[in-house]
Structure 1
Amino acid sequence: MAAPAHASGADNTPPAAPYVLYASGLRWTGGCLPLTIGIQRTTDNATPQSALIYEVFADGIRLGALADNGVNAAVWGTLHFTRPGPQTVTARAVDAAGNRSAPSNADVVTAYAC
């Protein structure tokens, strides 16, 4: 008797690494410790581009996630730093299966307190 076939539909391939187009900690964006960020949309082997999520990190600490709205060439939004001062900002794309991309390029941003 032959061994049962394993499901071959499992997605184990992470998305391509995203690219941070811009990141700014300027006070005019509102609130305390703001981060305005734009991330160039990336691709995945199974998840549609518009369904990818982008996690944003500052010095390795997760600040939040941005959903791709499927409309613009870039995903953008405002998050908040956890402390003031210069910090290295990166992003990772996450597909529907939970696979995470390699980190994006790094951008050093200064976070300003209120």
Structure 2
Amino acid sequence: MTRHPARTATVAAAAALTLVAAGAPAQARLADRTPPTAPYVLYADGLRWTGGCLPLTIGIQRSTDNVTPQPALVYEVFADGVRLGALTDNGANAAVWGVLRFTRPGPQTVTARAVDAAGNRSAPSNANVVTAYAC
């Protein structure tokens, strides 16, 4: 069997590049220390007509991140500092929106934070005072 040094070196280099490329996303996540930009709450409202108790309808302008793609960011939503839940970006709309539940009735300050794939959290969004209506 005849060996071709140039072909052997090319195959070895391609295999090494494949291994490096496969490990790059994990390394990038570990090295990512930069938080996403702060989101902006476009609207937040406690609606009486929505099914269920204490509903919060919220729309958030998307954040950006230096590593995590925009559709992969998660948005944590808070009312008076209490985490109500998280919204994921489905990538289909200009904003991220959803319905969450308040933990108590009455006026509350609603904010959001973006979280990237490395777990970095943005600064809080603008604040909106929303009244939560009981059932």
The answer to whether the aligner puts 1:19 opposite 2:53 as a matched pair is: no
The residue aligned with 2:18 is none
The residue aligned with 2:80 is 59
Q: Which stretches in structure 2 are left out of the alignment for 5+ residues?
A: 1-26
Q: CA deviation at 1:13?
A: 0.2
Q: Could you say which structure has the larger radius of gyration?
A: 2
| TM-score, normalised via structure 1 length | 0.92
Residue identity matched to 1:88: T
Following the alignment from structure 1 to structure 2, what is the Cα–Cα distance between the partners of residues 29 and 75? 18
Higher strand share: 1
Following the alignment from structure 2 to structure 1, what is the Cα–Cα distance between the partners of residues 87 and 104? 20
Aligned counterparts, 1:1-40, within 5 A: 9=28, 10-40=31-61
Q: CA deviation at 1:99?
A: 0.1
RMSD of the TM alignment (CA)? 0.9
Of structures 1 and 2, the one scoring higher in RCO (CA 8 A, sep 6+) is 1
The residue aligned with 2:128 is 107
Residue identity matched to 1:61: V
Following the alignment from structure 2 to structure 1, what is the Cα–Cα distance between the partners of residues 95 and 59? 6
Q: Write the deviation string for residues 20-73 of structure 1: whole angstroms up to 9, x where unpaired.
A: 000010111221000000000110000000000000000000000000001111
Residue identity matched to 1:108: V
Following the alignment from structure 2 to structure 1, what is the Cα–Cα distance between the partners of residues 85 and 111? 12
Residue identity matched to 1:94: V
Following the alignment from structure 1 to structure 2, what is the Cα–Cα distance between the partners of residues 77 and 70? 13
Moved over 3 A (4+): none
Q: Equivalent pairs: percent with the same residue? A: 86
The residue aligned with 1:3 is none
Aligned to 1:29, the other structure's residue is in SS state coil
Following the alignment from structure 1 to structure 2, what is the Cα–Cα distance between the partners of residues 17 and 45? 13
Aligned to 2:100, the other structure's residue is in SS state strand
| TM-score, normalised via structure 2 length | 0.78
The answer to whether the aligner puts 1:72 opposite 2:93 as a matched pair is: yes
